[in-house]
Amino acid sequence: MHTPDTRFFFDHVYRLVRSVPEGNVTTYGAIAEQISTRSAARMVGWALSAADPVTVPAHRVVNRFGALTGRMHFLTPETMKKMLLDEGVTFREDGTVDLERHMFDFSGLF
Protein backbone atom coordinates (compact mmCIF):
# COMPACT_ATOMS: atom_id res chain seq x y z
CA MET A 1 0.00 0.00 0.00
CA HIS A 2 1.27 3.45 -0.90
CA THR A 3 0.92 6.55 1.26
CA PRO A 4 -0.30 9.82 -0.29
CA ASP A 5 3.31 11.08 -0.35
CA THR A 6 4.48 7.92 -2.10
CA ARG A 7 1.61 8.12 -4.58
CA PHE A 8 2.53 11.77 -5.34
CA PHE A 9 6.16 10.76 -5.90
CA PHE A 10 5.18 7.85 -8.16
CA ASP A 11 2.81 10.06 -10.18
CA HIS A 12 5.55 12.66 -10.64
CA VAL A 13 7.96 9.95 -11.84
CA TYR A 14 5.36 8.64 -14.29
CA ARG A 15 4.66 12.14 -15.66
CA LEU A 16 8.35 12.72 -16.28
CA VAL A 17 8.88 9.33 -17.93
CA ARG A 18 5.88 9.94 -20.21
CA SER A 19 7.54 13.17 -21.38
CA VAL A 20 10.59 11.31 -22.75
CA PRO A 21 9.97 10.96 -26.50
CA GLU A 22 10.60 7.86 -28.59
CA GLY A 23 14.24 7.51 -29.55
CA ASN A 24 15.38 9.10 -26.29
CA VAL A 25 16.20 7.79 -22.83
CA THR A 26 16.74 9.24 -19.40
CA THR A 27 18.32 7.96 -16.21
CA TYR A 28 16.95 7.18 -12.77
CA GLY A 29 19.15 9.97 -11.41
CA ALA A 30 17.96 12.55 -13.94
CA ILE A 31 14.35 11.86 -12.98
CA ALA A 32 15.20 12.02 -9.27
CA GLU A 33 16.96 15.33 -9.83
CA GLN A 34 13.86 16.77 -11.50
CA ILE A 35 11.72 15.73 -8.53
CA SER A 36 13.94 16.31 -5.53
CA THR A 37 17.52 15.12 -5.30
CA ARG A 38 19.73 12.75 -7.19
CA SER A 39 19.85 10.51 -4.10
CA ALA A 40 16.25 9.45 -4.79
CA ALA A 41 17.28 7.46 -7.89
CA ARG A 42 16.53 4.13 -6.20
CA MET A 43 13.04 5.35 -5.35
CA VAL A 44 12.55 6.15 -9.04
CA GLY A 45 13.40 2.53 -9.84
CA TRP A 46 10.94 1.38 -7.19
CA ALA A 47 8.22 3.56 -8.73
CA LEU A 48 8.93 2.20 -12.21
CA SER A 49 8.75 -1.39 -11.02
CA ALA A 50 5.13 -0.65 -10.05
CA ALA A 51 4.27 1.26 -13.25
CA ASP A 52 1.61 0.26 -15.76
CA PRO A 53 3.65 -0.84 -18.81
CA VAL A 54 0.91 0.33 -21.16
CA THR A 55 0.86 3.95 -19.94
CA VAL A 56 4.42 4.47 -18.66
CA PRO A 57 7.32 3.88 -21.09
CA ALA A 58 9.67 2.60 -18.38
CA HIS A 59 11.91 1.04 -21.04
CA ARG A 60 13.23 4.56 -21.70
CA VAL A 61 14.88 4.74 -18.26
CA VAL A 62 18.42 3.39 -17.92
CA ASN A 63 21.16 3.72 -15.33
CA ARG A 64 23.75 6.50 -15.40
CA PHE A 65 26.06 4.42 -17.59
CA GLY A 66 23.34 3.57 -20.11
CA ALA A 67 22.91 0.00 -18.85
CA LEU A 68 19.48 -1.63 -19.01
CA THR A 69 19.20 -2.31 -15.30
CA GLY A 70 15.39 -2.44 -15.44
CA ARG A 71 15.32 -5.22 -18.01
CA MET A 72 14.29 -7.87 -15.47
CA HIS A 73 10.90 -6.17 -15.11
CA PHE A 74 9.99 -6.96 -18.72
CA LEU A 75 8.62 -10.16 -20.26
CA THR A 76 12.13 -11.31 -21.14
CA PRO A 77 15.52 -9.69 -20.44
CA GLU A 78 15.79 -8.77 -24.14
CA THR A 79 12.38 -7.06 -24.34
CA MET A 80 13.64 -3.71 -23.04
CA LYS A 81 16.48 -3.62 -25.57
CA LYS A 82 14.17 -4.59 -28.43
CA MET A 83 11.71 -1.83 -27.50
CA LEU A 84 14.51 0.74 -27.52
CA LEU A 85 15.94 -0.55 -30.81
CA ASP A 86 12.45 -0.33 -32.36
CA GLU A 87 12.41 3.36 -31.37
CA GLY A 88 15.79 4.01 -33.00
CA VAL A 89 17.96 4.01 -29.89
CA THR A 90 21.52 2.90 -30.61
CA PHE A 91 23.84 0.90 -28.40
CA ARG A 92 27.58 0.87 -27.88
CA GLU A 93 29.68 -2.27 -28.34
CA ASP A 94 29.49 -2.94 -24.59
CA GLY A 95 25.67 -3.13 -24.76
CA THR A 96 24.95 0.23 -23.14
CA VAL A 97 22.79 2.96 -24.65
CA ASP A 98 24.70 5.74 -26.42
CA LEU A 99 23.76 8.43 -23.88
CA GLU A 100 25.53 11.23 -25.75
CA ARG A 101 23.17 10.64 -28.64
CA HIS A 102 19.91 9.67 -26.91
CA MET A 103 19.82 11.31 -23.44
CA PHE A 104 16.69 13.44 -23.09
CA ASP A 105 17.16 16.97 -21.74
CA PHE A 106 14.40 17.95 -19.31
CA SER A 107 15.46 21.63 -19.21
CA GLY A 108 12.74 23.91 -20.47
CA LEU A 109 10.15 21.14 -20.43
CA PHE A 110 8.09 22.45 -17.52
Query: 47-74 pLDDT, tens per residue?
Result: 999 999 899 999 999 999 999 998 888 8
Q: Which amino acid is at 90?
A: T
**CATH number for 57:** 1.10.10.10
Asked if the structure places residue 11 within a domain, the reply is: yes
pTM over 0.95: no
User: Could you give the dihedral angle defined by the CA atoms of residues 16, 60, 89 and 95, in that order, rounded to the nearest 10 degrees?
Assistant: 140
Asked if the structure places residue 78 within a domain, the reply is: yes
Range of the domain at 74: 4-101
| 26 CB-contact burial (10 Å; exposed 0-12 / middle 13-18 / buried 19+) | buried
Asked if the structure places residue 109 within a domain, the reply is: no
pLDDT tens-digit map of 27-43: 999 999 999 777 899 99
Q: From the CB of residue 82, how many other CB atoms can be counted at a distance below 10 Å?
A: 13
